[in-house]
Amino acid sequence: MFVEAILKAAQGERVLEEPLLLKLRRLCSFSKITRLVYLTLATIPRGKATTYRALASVFGLSPRIVGFLMSRNPYPVLIPCHKVVKSDRSVGGYMGSLEFSSIKIELLRLEGVRVIGQKVDSRDLLNTRDLMQFIERGLELARILETKLTF
């Protein structure tokens, strides 16, 4: 939804509803690296997840910084931070708290990610190499936000 809205707006279509437009404006106010991490995450397909370590690795960040960004995500479903799990495949926290882990598990399952107990099935995890294709898409979206969208 978020990705499609950015692409349609870049083509000059007036399809953005006011609440989504406000979210895009706020996203533009984030640092470039934060925007890129969030936009890359938004391009990961249903049924797939990744780890804090893999996401950190492709951006040259520490896993703790990625965890911090996920905990501060202002749009938890549009920017699917629930798709980022710990290196041991356990789901970890959601929205900055371990008490919401059950919500994270439910969101993962609704998207087709296999969760067994508290761990994501390794077949559904994207590694660092897999993530590279999504960075290109994230970069494309970031360029659109920076250059083509006028608010």
Task: Respond yes or no: is residue 81 known to be catalytic.
Answer: yes
Q: Which of 79, 81, 107, 131 is catalytic?
A: 81
Contact between 81 and 70 under an 8 Å Cβ cutoff? The reply is yes
**What token pair was written down for 130?**
């897999």
The set of residues, in sequence order, having a beta carbon less than 8 Å from that of 134 and lying 6+ positions away, is 40, 43, 44, 126
Q: Give the C-alpha separation, 84 to 80, whole Å.
A: 8
Specify the DSSP element, H or E, that contains 106: helix 101-110
Active site residues: 81
